[in-house]
Amino acid sequence: MSQTSKGHTTHTNDERTVLCPCCGEEKLARGLHLHVLRSSDDQHGPQGQIPPDVELDEAETAGTSSVNLSYPKDRKSEDVARQCPYCGVPFRGKRGLAIHFGQVVGRKNHPKDRDEFPEPEDCPVVHLDDKQNIIEVVDSGSTMPSTKQRGGETVSEFVTRLRQQGHDDKANAVERALSVLAD
């Protein structure tokens, strides 16, 4: 269900809820990670940390909850898809990838420290088909069309520049993403 009002579009979703493995509270599945990070008590451990024995991806499903979402009608967003170098999933532009990075810190094969993530604009631009499958990746001879600051720099030149600036972790992330897509 969608409605429009005051420059915003609202949408209602039924979203999965889970039981927090630390305290048993029912939370939206997409908010469980932040709930544990922001809590600080004997059950959740120190604030800003996920206890090492807690596996959030395997939290017990409790049901669903109706959630109202409000989006601005006009949003400035990058008109390309960018791929996460850790899980390979494409996201809508730099903003979508930045949101993803914020939600997955320390989960699955993503870094435990936000500072280890590359900047979203440093992640590969991919072309998607109508079903959101990756059909093409910007290769080493192409320029990244959505990043003006690169000034026509190729991906391989960009990786070299990252290494020269001491950002080996970011350069490695870009190379991993490209190698996954090449397979």
pLDDT digits (tens, 9 = 90+) for 37-88: 889 888 998 888 888 888 888 899 999 999 888 777 766 667 788 889 888 8
**What is the band of 182 on the pLDDT scale with cuts at 50, 70, 90?**
low
Which residue range forms the structural domain that includes residue 47?
Answer: 2-72
Please tell me the predicted confidence (pLDDT) of residue 145: 37
120 in the same domain as 35: no
pTM: 0.46
Q: How high is the mean pLDDT of the chain?
A: 80
99 in the same domain as 62: no
CA 23-87-117 angle, 5° bins: 80
CA distance 151 to 32: 40
In whole angstroms, how far apart are CA 22 and each of 26, 58, 67, 110?
11, 12, 24, 22
64 in the same domain as 86: no
Residue where one domain finishes, among candidates 43, 72, 101? 72
Structure-token pair, residue 144:
């990244």
Residue where one domain finishes, among candidates 11, 42, 72? 72
Residue where one domain finishes, among candidates 15, 41, 72? 72
